[in-house]
Amino acid sequence: MTAEAAERLRIEIGSDQAVSGLVVQPPQPRACYMFAHGAGAGMTHKSMETVAAGLAERGIASLRYQFAYMEKGGKRPDPPAVAHATVRAAVAEAGRRFASLPLIAGGRSFGGRMTSQAQALSPLPGVRGLVFLGFPLHPAGKPSSERARHLADVTIPMLFLQGTRDALAELSLLEPVVKGLGSRAALHLLDGADHSFHVLKSSGRNDRAVMDEALDAFATWVDRAVG
């Protein structure tokens, strides 16, 4: 995957707060993905850069952004209401910049969950689908489906990209959740990958191959579900 030049921008959340964002735009994009980081790493993490660059290679623009706590250098994630406001501000910015493109929202782990919660509470303007890069169904070692209850209120297409070794989403729980959402939800399993899409050397694959598979599935889903 080649590195793509990213444009830095400021996303206004309210009259007194803003966060940073990064836009990567390939020639003639066919969609734009707004995506947020996980709880422990910001938008400049290597994995976030890899996703943005890989999507650009597949003709999909991206806008990745910080949550307020990460912007301030904090470690404790924002309360849901604050995170939801940030998601909405990023979606509004993408809508202004990419008014002619289908908009997709989501993110890694915490970022994806905050996006789906915001969508469930009130539809994100212009967003035609959600993509989760490792949906955090439950804390590690505490299997539960409670975090998925709000997904029943999401009425747009959803794609779950999940590793089969994901400690935050046991397949015996995740698969029934996705099945219960009906035709609007799709699950693509990444064999041997963990929550961060890492694989063991013994698997015979490497992390790049896993990411390529994930982004190929993403691009195919965009064309089928929201293109």
This prediction has a pTM of 0.95
pLDDT for 4 equals: 60
pLDDT for 134 equals: 96
Q: What is the pLDDT of residues 143-181, one digit of tens each?
A: 999 999 999 999 999 999 999 999 999 999 999 999 999
Which pairs from 206-211 meet CB under 8 Å and 24+ separation? 208/1, 210/163, 211/1, 211/50, 211/51, 211/54
pLDDT for 56 equals: 97
Number of C-beta neighbours around residue 16 at 10 A: 6
Neighbour-count burial of 149, counting CB atoms closer than 10 A to its CB (0-12 exposed, 13-18 middle, 19+ buried): exposed
Token readout for 100 is 């002619």
pLDDT for 1 equals: 44
Residue with the two structure tokens 């590690």: 140
Cα angle 223, 123, 160 (rounded to 5 degrees) comes to 45
pLDDT for 32 equals: 97
pLDDT for 2 equals: 46
Low-confidence stretches of the chain (pLDDT < 50) are 1-3
DSSP per residue, 175-197: HHHHHHTGGGEEEEEETT--TTS
